[in-house]
C-alpha cells in the first residue's frame, strides 16, 4: 500500500500517457488505503484498479458485493472504507438492496457506479443513480467533468469519516471515466474527525448517573467504531452499572464480562430484560436509539441520557432527559474522568454485589435453556449447534454474524462473545441473505480470524450463489445453514397461504448447490 499523500507516478505516467478519470479514482482509492474493489462489470474502474494492484473481487450479485464493502468497513471501524463499483443501469439498479441495508445500518462505504452520459441522463427510462440513491445514502453526487474528481472524492471521504456513518455514492458517466485528466492528482487522504462532548453536559450526566439507584449503560455500535470497548467496561466498573447492548452494538463489551447483560433483538438473554426492568436510568452511548422491530426498546418510565455522534438522533424517537452529543470514545473518556471527580465513595463491594446478581440471573437462564442447548433431538435443535460451535472455536479469534429471521433470534442472545468487537449485529432493515456479504468483507478485513455467518435456508436462497465468490477468491468463511424447510418467523402471518398452497414450505439441498 502506498503511504498516504505520496504521489508515485502512475503506470500510465511512466509511459508519458495521460491518466483518465478511472485512473484518477483508482489512484485516490489507493491513497485512501483501499485493499480491494468489490465489483461487477462493466465499470472502467475495475481495470484501472487492477493496473495499480488494487484487487478486484467480482461478486455474483451486486447486493453481495456491496455487503463485502460493508463488512470490511465495519471491521476496520471506518478508518478504511470498503468500495463497490457497478455498471450503470442494471448493475447499480441491482445494488440497491445492499446500499439500502448499509444505510439502515449506518455503515460508511463508497459506491462508484458508472453512469449514462450527459445527453441520455434525462431520457426515460434512464436510471439516474445519484438521484435514485439519495434517500439511502449519506451523500451522493455525479461527476460532470474529469477535473472535478479529486474534489468529489474528497467530499465523499469526508462524508464517510465524519459523524454518523452511511454509504456515499459518486456516479461517473462513462465519458468522465474515459476523459484525459490534466496535471497531477492533488489529493491527500481525509482523516476521521471526532467530536468531543460539552464538559457541562458531562458533569450533569455524571450527577444523574451517580444519583440513580439502578443505572444501566446501553451500548450501540458507535462504541465499535470508536474502538472504545475498554472504556465502556471501565465506566461500567467505576459506577458500577451493568451494560446492555443493542443488536448492532453486540460485543461492545465482551459478554464474558461480569457486568455484561448481553444484546437484544426481539429475543434477548434473561439478564437483559431483568436489569432493564429494574433500571431507573439508562445512559445510551454510541446508539441512535432508533425504534426498530429488530432491536430492543427502552421500557417506559426510565430517565434517559442519550449520547451519540449524530445530534439529530437526540429526541428523535425518545424524549430524553439529557442529550450528550459526541464521539462514543471521547464521551466515555470524559465520563470516566468526571465520575472519578464526583464519586466520593470508593470500594468494590457494589461492583461485586452487582456482578453476583447478574451471574445468578444468567445461571438461571442457562439452566432454563439447557434442554435446548444440550438437545439430542432429530431434526437437530439449532441451539445445540450454537452451543457446540461456541465450544469448537476460539471465540477470541472469531467474528460472527447472524442472518435475518430465526438465526438472528437464536444466535444473538446465545452467542457469548469473549472479546469486544467480535460480533457483527444488524437489523434495522433486515434483508434475508445480507450476512453472507458482510462476513466475506469481515474476512477480507481480518484474514487471521475465523469468520462465521449463520443463516437459514430462506437467506441462503437469496444470496447463496455468492459462495462461489468466496471459493473463487479464496475467502475462507464458514457458513452454517439451518435448513428447516420453513419460514419459522412468518408462520403467524401465512396461515391460510400455507394451508392452501404450501406457501411457507421452502426447501432444498443447499450443500449440493454450494
Partner 1 sequence: MEDPAEIKPALKEAIDTTEKGQPYLLEIIAKQGYDFSRYQEHTS
Residues engaged in binding partner 1 (CB under 8 A): 264, 266-270, 272-274, 276-277, 291-293, 295-300, 365, 369, 372, 375-385, 388-389, 392-393, 406, 409-410, 413-414, 450-451, 467, 470-471, 474-486, 488, 491, 509-511, 514
Is 292:266 a contact under the CB 8 Å cutoff? no
Nearer to partner 1, 279 or 334 (CB): 279
For residue 26, give every residue at least 6 positions away whose Cβ sits within 8 Å of its Cβ, in sequence order, or none.
45, 48, 49, 51, 52, 54
Smallest separation, CB 482 to partner 1 (Å): 4
Smallest separation, CB 239 to partner 1 (Å): 22
Smallest separation, CB 419 to partner 1 (Å): 17
Smallest separation, CB 97 to partner 1 (Å): 22
Edge-first strand listing for the sheet containing 423-424: 423-424, 398-402, 450-456
Nearer to partner 1, 126 or 381 (CB): 381
Nearer to partner 1, 79 or 491 (CB): 491
d(CA 205, CA 336): 11
Smallest separation, CB 103 to partner 1 (Å): 19
**Of 120, 115, 159, 162, whose CA–CA distance to 140 is shortest?**
159
Nearer to partner 1, 190 or 298 (CB): 298
Smallest separation, CB 398 to partner 1 (Å): 10
* Residue 384 burial (10 A CB sphere; 0-12, 13-18, 19+): middle
Nearer to partner 1, 14 or 448 (CB): 448
Smallest separation, CB 290 to partner 1 (Å): 8
Instruction: Work out the widest C-alpha separation in the chain, in whole angstroms.
Output: 73
Nearer to partner 1, 96 or 369 (CB): 369
DSSP β-bridge partners for residue 460: none
Q: Is the peptide bond before 125 cis (omega within 30 degrees of 0)?
A: yes
Nearer to partner 1, 133 or 414 (CB): 414
CA terminus-to-terminus distance, the chain: 34
Smallest separation, CB 225 to partner 1 (Å): 23
Encode burial over 140-167: b for 16+ CB neighbours within 10 A, e otherwise: bbbbeebeebbebbbbbbebbbbbbbbb
Is 116:173 a contact under the CB 8 Å cutoff? yes
Nearer to partner 1, 237 or 274 (CB): 274
Smallest separation, CB 9 to partner 1 (Å): 34
Nearer to partner 1, 207 or 499 (CB): 499
Nearer to partner 1, 132 or 373 (CB): 373
Nearer to partner 1, 43 or 264 (CB): 264
Smallest separation, CB 383 to partner 1 (Å): 8
Strand ranges (DSSP E) for 9-121? 36-39, 55-58, 83-86, 110-115
For residue 228, give every residue at least 6 positions away whose Cβ sits within 8 Å of its Cβ, in sequence order, or none.
286, 328, 329, 332
Smallest separation, CB 39 to partner 1 (Å): 19
Nearer to partner 1, 43 or 473 (CB): 473
Three cell numbers at 327? 464521539
Smallest separation, CB 68 to partner 1 (Å): 13
Taken as a whole, the chain contains a residue count of: 514
| Alpha-carbon distances, residue 339 vs 11, 232, 236, 307, 356 (angstroms) | 56, 13, 11, 16, 23
* Residue 26 burial (10 A CB sphere; 0-12, 13-18, 19+): buried
d(CA 268, CA 487): 20
Alpha helices in 172-226 (DSSP H): 174-178, 199-211, 222-225
**Helix 21-31 vs helix 44-51: crossing angle, to nearest 10:** 50
Amino acid at each position: 500500500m502506498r503511504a498516504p499523500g505520496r504521489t508515485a507516478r502512475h503506470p500510465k505516467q511512466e509511459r508519458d500517457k495521460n491518466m483518465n478519470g478511472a485512473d484518477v479514482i483508482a489512484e485516490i482509492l489507493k491513497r485512501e488505503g483501499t485493499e480491494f474493489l468489490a465489483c461487477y462489470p462493466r465499470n472502467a474502474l475495475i481495470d484501472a484498479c487492477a493496473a495499480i494492484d488494487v484487487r478486484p473481487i467480482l461478486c455474483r450479485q451486486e447486493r453481495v458485493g456491496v455487503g463485502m464493502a460493508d463488512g470490511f468497513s465495519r471491521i476496520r471501524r471506518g478508518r478504511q472504507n470498503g468500495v463497490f463499483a457497478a455498471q450503470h443501469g442494471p448493475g447499480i439498479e441491482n445494488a440497491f438492496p445492499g446500499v439500502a441495508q448499509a444505510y439502515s445500518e449506518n455503515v460508511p462505504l463508497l459506491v462508484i457506479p458508472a453512469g449514462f452520459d450527459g445527453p441520455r441522463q434525462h431520457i426515460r427510462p434512464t436510471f439516474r443513480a445519484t438521484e435514485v440513491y439519495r434517500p439511502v445514502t449519506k451523500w451522493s453526487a455525479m461527476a460532470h467533468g474529469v477535473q472535478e474528481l479529486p474534489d468529489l472524492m474528497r467530499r465523499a471521504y469526508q462524508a464517510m469519516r465524519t459523524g454518523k456513518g452511511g454509504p456515499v455514492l459518486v456516479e461517473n458517466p462513462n465519458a468522465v471515466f474515459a476523459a484525459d485528466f490534466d496535471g497531477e492528482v492533488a489529493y491527500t487522504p481525509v482523516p476521521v474527525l471526532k467530536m468531543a462532548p460539552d464538559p457541562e453536559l458531562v458533569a450533569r450526566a455524571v450527577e444523574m448517573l451517580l444519583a440513580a439507584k439502578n443505572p444501566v449503560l446501553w451500548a450501540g455500535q458507535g462504541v465499535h467504531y470508536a474502538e472504545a470497548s475498554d472504556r465502556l467496561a471501565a465506566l461500567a466498573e467505576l459506577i458500577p452499572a451493568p451494560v446492555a447492548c443493542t443488536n448492532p452494538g453486540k460485543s461492545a463489551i465482551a459478554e464474558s464480562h461480569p457486568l455484561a447483560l448481553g444484546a437484544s433483538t426481539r429475543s434477548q438473554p434473561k439478564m437483559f430484560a431483568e436489569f432493564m426492568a429494574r433500571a431507573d436510568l439508562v445512559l445510551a452511548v454510541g446508539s441512535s436509539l432508533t425504534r426498530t422491530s429488530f432491536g430492543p426498546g427502552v421500557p417506559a418510565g426510565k430517565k434517559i441520557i442519550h449520547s451519540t455522534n449524530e445530534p439529530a438522533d437526540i429526541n428523535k424517537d425518545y424524549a430524553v432527559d439529557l442529550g450528550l452529543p459526541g464521539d462514543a470514545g471521547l464521551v466515555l473518556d470524559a465520563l470516566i474522568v468526571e465520575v472519578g471527580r464526583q464519586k466520593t465513595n470508593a470500594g468494590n463491594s457494589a461492583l461485586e454485589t452487582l456482578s453476583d446478581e447478574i451471574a445468578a440471573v444468567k445461571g438461571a437462564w442457562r439452566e432454563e435453556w439447557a434442554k435446548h442447548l444440550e438437545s439430542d433431538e432429530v431434526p437437530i435443535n439449532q441451539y445445540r449447534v450454537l452451543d457446540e460451535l461456541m465450544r469448537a472455536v476460539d471465540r477470541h479469534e472469531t467474528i460472527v454474524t447472524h442472518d435475518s429471521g430465526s438465526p438472528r433470534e437464536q444466535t444473538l442472545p446465545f452467542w457469548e462473545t469473549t472479546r469486544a468487537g467480535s460480533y457483527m449485529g444488524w437489523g434495522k432493515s433486515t434483508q434475508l441473505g445480507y450476512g453472507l456479504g458482510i462476513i466475506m468483507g469481515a474476512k477480507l478485513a481480518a484474514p487471521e480470524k475465523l469468520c462465521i455467518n449463520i443463516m437459514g435456508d430462506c437467506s441462503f436462497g437469496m444470496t447463496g450463489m455468492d459462495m462461489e465468490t468466496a471459493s473463487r477468491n479464496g475467502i475462507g468463511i464458514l457458513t452454517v445453514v439451518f435448513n428447516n424447510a420453513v419460514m419459522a418467523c412468518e408462520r403467524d402471518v401465512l396461515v391460510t397461504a400455507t394451508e392452501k398452497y404450501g406457501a411457507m414450505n421452502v426447501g432444498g439441498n443447499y450443500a449440493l448447490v454450494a
